[in-house]
Amino acid sequence: MAEKLLEIKNLHAEVDGKEILKGLDLEIKKGEVHVIMGPNGAGKSTLVNIIMGHPKYEVTEGTIVFEGEDITELKTDERARKGIFLSFQAPEEIPGITVESFLRGARSAITGKPLKIMAFKKELKEIMEQLKIDESYAQRYLNVGFSGGEKKKNEILQMMMLNPKLAILDETDSGLDIDAVKIVSNGVKEFKNEENAIVIITHNSKILEFLKADYVHVVQDGKIVKVGDSSLINEINEKGFANIAAV
Ligand code: ADP
Ligand code: MG
C-alpha cells in the first residue's frame, strides 16, 4: 500500500478574524494526483497557503501531518525543506533577481548542500527546453515583464527544478493558451512518479484531459463537500457547483 504523504484532520482556519476553513479533512498518498475544485471564494487558495504555512492564516483547530510528522506549527521555509512546494495563483515580479539565480538560491536553501553549478545549468537548460521557455529567460529578472502564461510556465520550471515530494499548483493553468496547457501538463506528467504527489486547483477541465486525476474534491464554504474520481469533473461541468453537494 502506498505511503501516506499528507494528512489533514478537522482543519479550521481564520484570516483577519474571519473563519474561512470550517473542518476540512484531506489525505494524500504517494503516487496520487488530487484535483481541488470549487466556486470562487470557497477556500481553495486558503487551504493550500495553510499547507505551505503562510503566516497570514491562523489555524484554530486541527492538524496537518506530513510524512508522519505534525507540521502544523512549522514555518514556510521548514516545510519547503521537507519537500512541499506551492505555485502561486498570481506569481510576483522580483526585479533584480534573475530566474537562474532565484532557482539556484531556492535549490541550495532546500537541499542545504552546495550547488554543482555545471550540472545545475545543464539541468535548467533541459527543463527549459522541455517547457519551451527560451534560454534567454534564465537571465531575465523573475517574472518582470513576463506574460501571464510565461509566469505560469515559470512556476512549473521551479517545481521541476526543486523536485518536491508534494507539489501544489494553484490555478497554474488559468490564463494559458491550449498549447501552453499541453506543455505544462506534459511537464507535470514528467515530474510525477510513485514517490511524489500533486494537488491541482483548477477551474479548467482542459488540463485534466492530459492528466489523470485519482481524486477530485469539491470545496464549498471551507469544507470538502464531495470526493470522487475523475468522473466527478464531468458531473460538475454538467450540474455546476450549486447542485453537486446535495447528498
Ligand atoms: P478560492 O481560492 O477558493 O477562490 P480563497 O481561499 O482565496 O478562495 O478565499 C476564501 C475566502 O476567504 C473568501 O471569502 C475571501 O474573501 C476570504 N479571504 C481571503 N483572504 C482574506 C483576507 N485577507 N481577509 C479577509 N478575508 C479573506
Ligand atoms: Mg484561489
Task: Evaluate whether residue 132 is within a structural domain.
Answer: no
The contacts of residue 100 (CB under 8 Å, 6+ apart) are: 121, 124, 138, 139
Residue at 134 is within a domain: no
Whether residue 247 has pLDDT greater than 50: no
* Separation CA 202–CA 172 (nearest Å): 8
1: confidence class by pLDDT, cuts 50, 70, 90? low
pTM comes to 0.93
Looking up residue 238, the CATH number of its domain turns out to be 3.40.50.300
Residue 53 maps to a domain:
yes
- Decide if 62 contacts 9 (C-beta within 8 A): yes
Q: Does 120 reside within a domain?
A: no
pLDDT digits (tens, 9 = 90+) for 65-91: 999 999 999 999 999 999 999 998 778
Q: Are 4 and 27 in contact (CB under 8 A)?
A: yes
Could you report the per-residue pLDDT of 35-61, keeping only the tens digit for each? 999 999 999 999 999 999 999 999 999
Round the average pLDDT of the chain to a whole number and report it. Answer: 93
In a domain, 159, yes or no: no
Substitution candidate for ligand 1 out of 11, 12, 14, 20 with most atoms within 8 A of CB: 20
- Grid cell, residue 99, equals 530566474
* CA-nearest residue, atom 7 of ligand 1: 45
Q: For residue 174, is it within any domain? A: yes
Number of domains, the chain:
1
In a domain, 185, yes or no: yes
**Can you give the residue range of the structural domain that contains 51?**
4-95+167-243
Q: Is residue 129 situated within a structural domain?
A: no
Within a 10 A sphere around the Cβ of 121, how many other Cβ atoms? 14
* Distant-in-sequence contacts of 224-227, Cβ < 8 A, 24+ apart: 224/24, 224/25, 224/26
